[in-house]
Amino acid sequence: MTERRKILHFTLGPVQGFIADARRTRDFWAGSFLLSWLSGSAMAALKQKDGTIIFPEISDDKLFAAIMDPSKGGQPYIGSLPNRFKAEITNVVGDAGEICRKEINKQWHLLTDRIYDHFLKGKVASKAKNGEAGLRAIWDRQIDHFWDTNWVCGLEEPDNGKWLDQRKNWRRSLKPDEGGDLCRLMGQFQELSGYRRLGKEKASQKEFWEYFSAQNGVGALNLRSDERLCAIALVKRLFPLIAEDVLGWNPGGKSIDIKHWPSVSYIAAVPWLERAAKLEPEQQSDYFKSAQGQLNCDFMGESHTRLFGLPKNGLFKLDGHLLHLDGIKSWNSDSLVGQDYTQKEKARNTLSRGLVEIHKKVGLQSASEFYAVLMMDGDRIGARLGSQEDLVKLGLANFTNAVRAYFDPKGSKKNAAKGTLIYAGGDDVLALVPVDYVITAAKQLRAEYESAFAKAHATLKGKGKPAEFTMSAAIIFTQYKVPLRTALSKSHHYLDNIAKNENGRDSLAIAVLKPGGITYDWVSCWYNEVDPVSVLEQVSREIAKPSSRYSSSFLYNVRERYAPLFYNEEPGEPDKRYEKKSQIAFGDPDLMRFTLAAEIKKQPGKGNLTDAQLDEHVAPLMTIGHPLQKDDCGIRKRSAYHFEGLLVARFIAEQIMNSDSGHPISEAEGNEE
């Protein structure tokens, strides 16, 4: 009888809170990378004790290789290791889970002690309430009690994948209570100075953070004037400044500067900047010279951005807010030249006029104010890990490599998504992508996911069923003024609750997020006989044409006139709509077809369309309006006509660029208002 292996399941958390509590793209990346690095450190410690990592597949993982030997692992900057892993520990001496926990604590404290000693110890700490002792008490309380580790060990069984989920239900660690003023980024923790803003301590609190910002090269780039942070948030913020000292390698090497991640306002403007890159150098420099003359601060916040293949100088170094008229309007007056309000507003107006002039040269009214959060996740991977472990391991390793290659600015695909990849590990993907590219990127990554498992199936000579592996995704088109943490929260909601739970998985959910909340949304399975996602793209391109068969007002009016009739109740808040499960009052799908046809014939020049021509106009709108849903009976069309899909297509059309920019979603010749 074969002796059963001894197995460890281990997990590290919290995940979402650590990553999603972010104000800047850099915070977002740092949280994701640190979580992956700590998990990888635990795996490395176990491997050095004769343990074998079963899941994830680490043989070709660049981050794991760098953790094992920084001199040979390259300089990876993408977190590629999940927070949960499985290992064989038959030959490990001692408590395998405790070995992992101690290694995580060791590496975490090496990092946090380095940050404390370099940025806080001494004069900075002495300005906190009760001096360094008071600051150190807050720091140690937060640092020492932040991470939750859970593990289960036992002899291998067919359903051992359930052990850890059951174990996590037994007990939750109790963290010490936090008092005083709270962190502006992670609101459940106290800020580090220890002072309260109410009363006489406000001035002391301000003095502490101003003094901190002025020391050791921190500056306004790393700490905004109104930010008062806790220990955890400060670690995420300052990690990029000392990463090489702690890790033994510089994440990204020379090709990526982790201290200067592109802002979301810059990512939104990337398609516009690509078009501006075609201008003559002197045309590009006009607005840059205007900024030089009207600003008295460091306004080249994107000077180290190298992800998008854009030129390195002039216009392309400007802070992302300076590429948007609204960004100029909200620019801090203290950073404008002039001695008084009138002079500073004159400088602001000069900047605005300069931006309008270059808009004319580029041939577009303005850069889009929207970017997209792309979040993707494999369906039911955990449930299949026990029965198809080899296929899952190899398939996910193939997929992770494909994602990294797709976003690699130095690779053969030259960052085809023109996006900022935050995380790619296992079946998870998280990226920030310009509006023009994101749907194509989502479709391509889903295709890579299918291909990864087909390749793994062939490598394993037919073991497993690759067709069972599907992927869901959420795309949140987000105005750059919306807090990043809000966009991430909505992304999780649409991926987990809408694309997966409500729509049955194998789905893409799309929503438009503005400062007031979600305005439009749409969800569908990727495809059946007809692919609604591709049809949505096609209709968006059609709407963007000057001679479009669908005017912007037509799509809006269809929704305004008929949505209240076709729903038993007003749709209400978009991201709650599916939870209400509203039913249409008129169940005959032909009724909507005839209604759309009648509305099209009302449009100027459309009154004489033949029935065949009307069908050509109406068919795509019916596909978008009846997206696909998966349930126990398979994939089927939603019975309720979903009017929001028309407005999602209209929104995309208003954001995308012209055809000569070469964008995969932008084949139109113009942009209709």
Task: Tell me if 227 sits within 8 A of 184, measured CB to CB.
Answer: yes
The pair of three-digit structure tokens given for residue 172, joined into one six-digit string = 């939750």
Confidence of residue 208 (pLDDT cuts 50, 70, 90): very high
Q: How far apart are CA 477 and CA 528, in angstroms?
A: 25
pLDDT, average across residues 16-36: 91
Query: Is residue 252 a part of any domain in this protein?
Result: no
- Encode pLDDT of 531-563 as tens digits: 999 999 999 988 888 888 888 888 888 888 888
Residue 137 belongs to a domain:
yes
Cα angle value 394/399/400 (rounded, 5°):
100
At 668, the pLDDT band (50, 70, 90 cuts) reads very low
| Residue 570 confidence (pLDDT) above 60 | no
12 part of a folded domain: yes
Question: Binning pLDDT at 50, 70 and 90, where does residue 1 land?
Answer: very low
Q: Are residues 456 and 601 in the same domain?
A: no
- Mean per-residue pLDDT for 71-76? 84
pLDDT digits (tens, 9 = 90+) for 347-377: 999 999 999 999 888 887 789 999 999 999 9
Q: Which of these ranges, 127-136, 166-175, 330-339, 396-405, has the smallest mean pLDDT? A: 166-175
Q: Which residue has the higher pLDDT, 573 or 380?
A: 380
Whether the per-residue pLDDT at 410 is higher than 50: the answer is yes
Q: What is the pLDDT of residues 293-314, one digit of tens each?
A: 898 877 777 767 788 989 888 8
Are residues 388 and 326 part of one domain? no
Q: What is the structure's pLDDT at 490?
A: 96
Task: Please tell me whether residues 49 and 158 are part of one structural domain.
Answer: yes
Q: Of 9-23, 66-80, 118-132, give the range with the top mean pLDDT.
A: 118-132
Return the C-alpha torsion angle 31, 36, 42, 47, nearest 10.
Answer: -160
Residue 384 pLDDT class (50, 70, 90 cuts):
confident
What is the percentage of the chain residues whose pLDDT exceeds 90? 61
- Pair of tokens at residue 245: 């000292």
The verdict on 562 and 507 lying in the same domain is: no
Task: Cis check for the bond before 14: say yes or no (omega within 30 of 0).
Answer: yes
Residue 136 belongs to domain with CATH number: 3.30.70.2220
pLDDT in tens, 225-253: 889 999 999 999 999 999 999 999 999 88
pLDDT recorded at residue 524 = 96
- Label residue 2 by pLDDT band (50, 70, 90): low
What pLDDT is stored for residue 579 in this prediction? Answer: 43
Question: Last residue of a domain, which of 362, 397, 425?
Answer: 362
**The predicted structure's pLDDT at residue 174:** 60
Other beta carbons within 10 angstroms of residue 124's beta carbon come to 23
pLDDT of 454 above 80: yes
**556 & 645 share domain:** yes
Cite the beta strand spans of 567-633 per DSSP E: 628-631
Q: Which two tokens stand for residue 528?
A: 């059946």
Measure the CA–CA gap between 268 and 282, rounded to whole angstroms: 24
Which band of pLDDT confidence, cut at 50, 70 and 90, is reported for residue 567?
Answer: low
Mark whether 353 and 454 lie in a shared domain: no
Mean pLDDT, all residues of the chain: 87
Burial 514-539 (b: 16+ CB within 10 A, else e): eeeebbbbbbbbbbeeebbbebbbbb
What's the pLDDT at 164? 61
Is the predicted pLDDT of residue 494 greater than 70, yes or no?
yes
Whether 609 contacts 600, CB under 8 Å: yes
Q: What is the mean pLDDT of residues 78-101?
A: 95
**Which among 178, 196, 180, 197 has a CA at the least distance from the CA of 188?**
178
Q: Is 230 exposed, middle or buried (0-12, 13-18, 19+ CB in 10 A)?
A: buried
Average pLDDT in the 392-401 region? Answer: 94
Is the confidence at residue 599, as pLDDT, over 80?
A: yes
Same domain, 51 and 142: yes
323 and 381 together in one domain: no
Residue 148, beta-bridge partner list: 13
Q: Which CATH number goes with the domain that contains 482?
A: 3.30.70.270
Count of domains for the chain? 4
Say whether both 66 and 165 belong to one domain.
yes
Of 193, 221, 247, the last residue of a domain is 247
What is residue 171's predicted lDDT score, i.e. its pLDDT? 52
User: What pLDDT does residue 569 have?
Assistant: 46
502 has a pLDDT exceeding 90: yes
Any domain includes 520 = no
Note the pLDDT of residue 334. 86
Tokens in use for 479? 């105005």
**CA 186: distance to chain centroid?**
18
Can you give the pLDDT at residue 385? 77
Crossing angle of helices 341-362 and 264-276, rounded to 10°: 50
By residue range, what is the domain housing residue 621? 545-673
Q: Do the domain assignments include residue 533?
A: no
The backbone torsions φ and ψ at residue 319, rounded to the nearest 5 degrees and listed phi first, read -50, 140
H or E segment at 395?
helix 389-407
pLDDT computed for residue 71 by the predictor? 86
C-alpha to C-alpha distance for 627 and 640, rounded to whole angstroms? 9
- Is 203 found in the same domain as 123? yes
Q: How high is the pLDDT of residue 16?
A: 83
- Across 655-659, average pLDDT: 60
Band the pLDDT of 79: cuts 50, 70, 90: very high
Q: Is the pLDDT of residue 135 over 90?
A: yes
Q: Which residue has the tokens 């890990």?
A: 385
C-alpha to C-alpha distance for 283 and 359, rounded to whole angstroms: 11
Helices (H), 120-162: 123-126, 131-144
Read off the pLDDT band of 632 (50, 70, 90): confident
Express as a percent the part of the chain with pLDDT over 70. Answer: 90
Of 339, 362, 385, the residue that ends a domain is 362
- Looking at residue 399, what is its pLDDT? 96
pLDDT at 576: 54
In a domain, 531, yes or no: no
In the predicted model, is pLDDT for residue 639 greater than 70?
Answer: yes
Which residues on adjacent β-strands are paired with residue 155? 6
Does 530 reside within a domain? no
- Residue 384 CA from chain centroid, whole number: 26
Are 629 and 609 found together in one domain?
yes
* pLDDT for position 575: 54
- 224 and 316 share a domain? no
Confidence grade of residue 215 (pLDDT, cut at 50, 70, 90): confident
Q: Dig out the tokens for 300 from the structure.
A: 């080249």
Is 1 part of a structural domain of the chain?
no
